[in-house]
Amino acid sequence: MASSLDGHQAFVDALRQSVLEGPGETDPALRHRAAARASGGPPIEAPYDAVAHQIGEAADRATHAQLANVLTCRRISCTRARRAPHPTAAADYHSAPIFEDLQSALAFLEIMKQRPGDLSSGHATASLRTGVAAEGLAGALFNIIRRYANALAFVVPSVEEFDRAADILPKRGYA
């Protein structure tokens, strides 16, 4: 008899395969090195090393500046050209010479983090119009929810509790 843990492991394996080998902008070899680094592996090339290491240590403490540095560097191909990202990109994205979609994403994140009560669907729409992916905005919102859950010390249910909820929730209309 297969346990419910087998199903969870299959999901984990499929997710890992999709993230590390699936279609994406980042070369799969770099994705593997970053995943290894986040798991305590050897350092990797800049600008990926700092953020991969931080994600491994405490993902909720990865900073917008670290992510902006990686995104900005990717946009100007600094790893291929061995150049550093523009020095003001992480510190002042408002005036940095970066792409409009990146600038819009950083503005959305700034409002979400510093003035969450001011965040509206208009901000999301503005970001989407510049080319920011809807999945990226949803991921940012999920990250904030996860940070709140961590700060409030929510307890993650056991596998048995997840299985019990999986049986009960559809009966209550959560399918």
> Per residue in 84-125, pLDDT tens?
445 555 567 777 777 788 788 888 888 887 888 898 889 989
- Judge contact between 93 and 71, C-beta under 8 A: no
Domain count within the chain: 1
Domain-located, residue 18: no
Beta-carbon contacts of residue 58 (< 8 Å; ≥ 6 apart): none
Write out the two tokens for 43: 């350092």
Domain-located, residue 27: no
Domain-located, residue 132: yes
What pTM was estimated for this model as a whole? 0.43
Select, from the ranges 3-12, 104-113, 136-145, the one with the highest average predicted confidence (pLDDT): 104-113
| Strand, coil or helix: 86 | coil
Domain residue limits at 135: 99-175
Domain-located, residue 40: no
pLDDT tens digits, 21-54? 888 777 888 888 988 988 888 998 877 888 888 8
Mean pLDDT of 77-90: 47
Domain-located, residue 74: no
CA distances to 4, 12, 106, 159 from 172, rounded to whole Å, are 21, 27, 39, 20
| pLDDT at residue 100 in the model | 81
**Which of 92, 85, 129 lies closest to 110 in space, CA to CA?**
92
Domain-located, residue 15: no
Domain-located, residue 110: yes
Domain-located, residue 158: yes
Please tell me which residue, 87 or 77, carries the higher pLDDT value.
87
